Amino acid sequence: MLIGGEWIEPGGRSTFPTYDPATGKVIAELIEATPADVDAAVRAATGAFGAWADLVPAERARLLLRVADLVEQHADELARLETTDQGQPLAISGGFSIPMVVNQFRYHAGWATKLTGITVDVSVPDVDYRTRREPLGVCGLITPWNFPIMLLAFKLAPALATGNTVVIKPAEQTSLSTLRLAELCLEAGIPAGVVNVVTGGVGKALVDHPGVAKISFTGSTEVGREIGASTGRALKRVSLELGGKAPSVVAADADIDAAVAGNLMGGLLNSGQVCAAYTRFYVARPRADEFVDKLAAGASSQVLGHGLAETTQLGPLVSEEQVALVDGYVRLGEQEGATLVTGGSRAEGDGYFYRPTVFTDVADSMRIAREEIFGPVLSVIPYEDDDELELIARANDTDYGLAAVIWSGEVKVANRLARRIRAGSVYINMPPLLDAAAAWGGFKASGLGRENGWDAIEAFTEVKSIWTAL
């Protein structure tokens, strides 16, 4: 753990293991933090807040750029660490996650010197009125296990750029890259106490701490509801990026080969452990059989293996518990009457591997079509091509609203559907991509607020009005 610029050693304290999900073997023991540790971290962040917030913006920008440079210099090390701890193939950790961390820090470093207020001619005589954006204070950043370092950067970079200090609570399954990033922050020159990390199951203690001004959480909708309730009672600021059940609409005029390739990427990225994973495939009935055949062939051909192996296309699930959860949904799908086309079982050997699974004959009411599985399970649901309104209603018939995709050769149709589908991000003829400048977040039970771009700056600042008698 890192508190006030000091690394806390385990000593005789309680620890918990973190595993390599590709082998099931323990790779490290980490400290099980206590509420007292959370209190110490919040006090350290509080003590560092004044000086950090008062630091001239150009200096904060310089330090964030230095963090970006160090991440880039250690990119291979960080990618291997992320792959070993989380399981995602190097093509993802090295080609997507770590470059995104670099981009987040460079992008938000630019915002540090560009925060502005406004002046308004108010209808009060002899008064000057203006606003300014100010940091919130101590922010609790609670991150998930599927993209640990990348999703931390979504929060950490804008929080620091706007002058906040932070206490980070990474997921217990995948804490190693977070600790290494915190180490690089210190090496970059970010002052002690600005960035603190507590490990273990102390998320509730951080959420409930009276010294925390804001919670930014990415994770399950179930936990997000509890955090929302707690922060609501305390009137704390909160951002929640939660679950999803993204519909993928494949129109009759779609390029099926492109749709299959894009849906395999969007549905199986990180072994389906993605909140925006394409999981419900609404395919125009005349093209459904062709789509199912090609999707199943592509899914069954995926090469499973350790993420460090160059040939690996699909890594393991994050834990034994996640394997059991995914397999439980697969068995449930069979019980509810869906037809299993391929996959549907754990892969032989060590580690937490699960075969990519494709179902057809899926009804909208089935749990595999309604609940977030967070694994490599894809459901194909035909629709009648001439009933656009029914299609939209079915795509929107979900508690979630994080992402959606439309595959069509007709631009007007695709954009008309995009406007009517209730999701925070809608992609047209492409897999789900992200960018530091593009707002990210969901409708309905997929969360509150947005990350990235100007939305992230607003999320970590408050507006102050200043009135001056003339």
Kindly give the residue spans of alpha helices, DSSP state H, lying in 235-319.
Answer: 256-268, 285-300
Kindly give the residue spans of alpha helices, DSSP state H, lying in 201-277.
Answer: 203-208, 221-234, 256-268
In our burial notation (b when 16+ CB lie closer than 10 A, e otherwise), range 31-64 reads bbbbeebbbbbbbbbbebbeebbebebeebbbbb
> Given this model, what pLDDT does residue 386 score?
81
Q: For the segment 156-204, what is each residue's pLDDT rounded down to a tens digit? A: 999 999 999 999 999 999 999 999 999 999 999 999 999 999 999 999 9
* 346 secondary structure, DSSP code: B
> Given this model, what pLDDT does residue 387 score?
86
> Given this model, what pLDDT does residue 15 score?
97
State the Cα angle at 467 between 52 and 114, rounded to 5°: 40
CA–CA distance, 347 with 362 (Å, rounded to integer): 24
List, in order, residues 6 or more apart from 317 with CB less than 8 Å away: 21, 87, 271, 273, 323, 326, 352, 353, 354, 375
What does the block give as tokens for 466? 């200043």
> How many CA atoms are closer than 13 Å to the CA of 369, on its beta-carbon side?
25
Low-confidence ranges of the chain (pLDDT < 70): none
Closest among 218, 122, 275 to 456, alpha carbons compared = 218
Burial class (CB within 10 angstroms; exposed 0-12, middle 13-18, buried 19+) of 364: middle
> Given this model, what pLDDT does residue 406 score?
98
Instruction: Write the Ramachandran bin of 35: left for phi over 0, alpha for psi from -120 to 50, otherwise beta.
Output: alpha
43 φ, ψ (degrees, to nearest 5): -65, -40
CA–CA distance, 439 with 357 (Å, rounded to integer): 31
> Given this model, what pLDDT does residue 104 score?
98
Q: For the segment 275-330, what is each residue's pLDDT rounded down to a tens digit? A: 999 999 999 999 999 999 999 999 999 999 999 999 999 999 999 999 999 999 99
List, in order, residues 6 or more apart from 331 with CB less than 8 Å away: none
As separate numbers, helices (DSSP H) first and strands (DSSP E) second, the chain gives 16, 20
Give catalytic residues, as residue numbers: 241, 275
What pTM was computed for the model? 0.97
Dihedral (CA of 390, 396, 399, 405) sign: positive
Closest among 39, 405, 387, 333 to 205, alpha carbons compared = 39
Closest among 114, 399, 134 to 280, alpha carbons compared = 399
Closest among 94, 72, 95 to 84, alpha carbons compared = 94
